[in-house]
């Protein structure tokens, strides 16, 4: 999540100090819920918010969210430079919570938000969300061009080292499209879900192949 509190409880944690306006935070609670095993801030000098978390078999935590900070902490990471507007971010916190294994931006020159993250058995991370950037980083991916409108959903696979993209692309039509969550199958195929206002959202098989009108339809897409 996110916090504006300079006195947010910290225990070990990747960063014990609030860096500014609002920071994301990551907290690990013991099994019976009676104590914090680690807790700390992650952020720069502007607005930072964590939206989703996943944990691998070794206990490392993967967090995605959104940042307005050009001073967001970067370490390895898929992209180490702020692209402008709002960027999504992806960080990996080590199992003890004492530091970051990688941290970086994911976005283009407009608004980019990470809303869901998952991790496979090989520790590749999968991020989904929404982007209004026609220069969002793409690599292979289901669709390499921005489809117009307010924003498209995106789905991105980051390698285990956190320093490169295995695939990354847009999912959407010409109105607005936003993915809100992601899940993996045993074979590491990714399924994303969210909402769309696009009557031309790409469909193939699926439970409903025609846009049903109204303000928005839900969607489910397997990559």
- pLDDT at res. 1: 95
- pLDDT at res. 13: 66
- pLDDT at res. 206: 67
> How is the chain split into domains, by residue range?
46-222
| Exposed e or buried b per residue across 98-117, where buried means at least 16 C-beta atoms within 10 angstroms of its C-beta | eebbbbbbbbbebbbbbbbb
Q: Does residue 217 surpass a pLDDT of 70? A: yes
Confidence band (pLDDT; 50, 70, 90) for 109? very high
Q: Which of 2-16, 33-47, 71-85, 137-151 has the highest mean pLDDT?
A: 33-47
Q: Tell me the pLDDT of the chain averaged across its residues.
A: 92
Q: What is the mean pLDDT of residues 189-209?
A: 88
Class of residue 132 by CB neighbours under 10 A (exposed 0-12, middle 13-18, buried 19+): buried
Q: Is the dihedral of CA 65, 67, 73, 75 positive or negative?
A: positive
Q: What is the mean pLDDT of residues 137-147?
A: 87
Q: Does residue 212 surpass a pLDDT of 80? A: no
- CA dist., res. 158 & res. 94, Å (int): 17
Q: What is the mean pLDDT of residues 35-47?
A: 94
| Of 44 and 12, more confident | 44
- pLDDT at res. 140: 83
- pLDDT at res. 193: 98
């Amino acid at each position: 999540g996110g916090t504006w509190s300079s006195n947010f409880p910290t225990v070990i944690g990747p960063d014990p100090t609030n860096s500014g306006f609002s920071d994301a935070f990551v907290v690990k609670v013991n099994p019976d819920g009676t104590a914090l095993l680690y807790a700390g801030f992650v952020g720069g000098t502007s607005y930072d918010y964590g939206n989703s978390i996943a944990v691998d078999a070794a206990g490392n935590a993967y967090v995605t969210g959104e940042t307005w900070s050009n001073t967001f902490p970067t370490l390895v990471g898929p992209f180490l430079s702020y692209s402008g507007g709002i960027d999504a971010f992806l960080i990996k916190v080590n199992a003890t919570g004492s530091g970051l294994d990688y941290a970086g931006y994911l976005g283009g020159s407009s608004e980019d938000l990470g809303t869901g993250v998952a991790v496979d058995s090989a520790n590749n991370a999968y991020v989904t969300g929404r982007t209004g950037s026609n220069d969002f980083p793409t690599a292979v991916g289901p669709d390499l061009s921005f489809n117009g409108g307010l924003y498209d959903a995106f789905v991105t696979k980051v390698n285990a080292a956190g320093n490169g993209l295995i695939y990354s692309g847009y999912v959407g039509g010409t109105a607005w499209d936003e993915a809100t969550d992601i899940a993996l199958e045993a074979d590491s195929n990714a399924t994303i879900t969210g909402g769309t206002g696009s009557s031309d959202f790409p469909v193939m098989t699926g439970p409903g192949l025609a846009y049903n009108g109204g303000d928005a339809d839900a969607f489910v897409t397997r990559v």
